[in-house]
Structure 1
Amino acid sequence: MTQIQLDSELIEQVIAQDRKAQFQLFELTKRMIYSLAYRMLNDEDLAHDVLQETYVEVFQKIRSLKHPEALPSWMKTIAARKAIKVAKNQFEFEKIDQHPDPLENQFDSWFDGELLDQAIRELPPGARAVFMLVTVEGYPHSEAANLLGISESTSKSQLHYAKRLLKTRIQNLLRV
Structure 2
Amino acid sequence: MGIQKLNSELINKVIQQDRSAQFQLFELTKSMLYSICYRVLANEDEANDVLQDAYVEVFQNIRKLEHPQALISWMKTITIRKAIKESKKQILFAPIEDHNPATTENFDAWFDAEVLDQAIQSLPDGARTVFVLVAIEGYSHQESAKLLGISESTSKSQLHYAKTLLKSRITNLLQA
The TM tier, using the shorter chain, reads: 0.7 to 0.9
Structure 1 residues 112-146: Cα deviation after superposition (integer angstroms, max 9, x where no partner): 32232111011000000000011111111111111
Q: Higher helix proportion, which one?
A: 2
CA apart distance, 1:174: 3.9
CA apart distance, 1:175: 4.3
Aligned to 1:170: 170
Larger relative contact order (CA 8 Å, sep ≥ 6): 1
2:20 aligned with 1:20, yes or no? yes
Return the alpha-carbon distance in structure 1 between the equivalents of residues 10 and 118 of structure 2: 36
Letter of the 2:135 counterpart = T
Return the alpha-carbon distance in structure 2 between the equivalents of residues 48 and 136 of structure 1: 20
Letter of the 2:60 counterpart = Q
Listed as ranges, the matches of 1:134-153 within 5 Å are: 134-153=134-153
Aligned to 1:56: 56
Answer yes or no: is the 8 Å Cα contact 1:90–1:126 preserved in 2.
Answer: no
Letter of the 2:35 counterpart = S
Aligned to 1:80: 80
Identity among equivalent positions (%) equals 69
2:50 aligned with 1:41, yes or no? no
Letter of the 1:131 counterpart = F
1:91–1:136 distance in 2 versus 1, CA, 3 Å:
farther
2:130 aligned with 1:130, yes or no? yes
Q: Equivalent residue of 1:40, what SS? A: helix
Return the alpha-carbon distance in structure 1 between the equivalents of residues 154 and 146 of structure 2: 11
Return the alpha-carbon distance in structure 2 between the equivalents of residues 15 and 149 of structure 1: 30
Counting matched residue pairs gives 158
CA apart distance, 1:173: 3.3
Unaligned runs of 5+ in 1: 93-108
CA RMSD after TM alignment: 1.8
Aligned to 2:116: 116
Return the alpha-carbon distance in structure 2 between the equivalents of residues 30 and 124 of structure 1: 26
Return the alpha-carbon distance in structure 2 between the equivalents of residues 56 and 112 of structure 1: 33
| Normalised TM-score (structure 1) | 0.84
1:71–1:12 distance in 2 versus 1, CA, 3 Å:
same
Return the alpha-carbon distance in structure 2 between the equivalents of residues 163 and 112 of structure 1: 18
1:89–1:53 distance in 2 versus 1, CA, 3 Å:
closer
Return the alpha-carbon distance in structure 1 between the equivalents of residues 118 and 87 of structure 2: 19
Answer yes or no: is the 8 Å Cα contact 1:39–1:132 preserved in 2.
Answer: yes
CA apart distance, 1:35: 0.5
Letter of the 1:62 counterpart = I
Unaligned runs of 5+ in 2: 93-106
| Normalised TM-score (structure 2) | 0.84
Answer yes or no: is the 8 Å Cα contact 1:91–1:126 preserved in 2.
Answer: no
CA apart distance, 1:170: 2.0
Q: Equivalent residue of 2:3, what SS? A: coil
Letter of the 1:4 counterpart = I
1:137–1:91 distance in 2 versus 1, CA, 3 Å:
farther
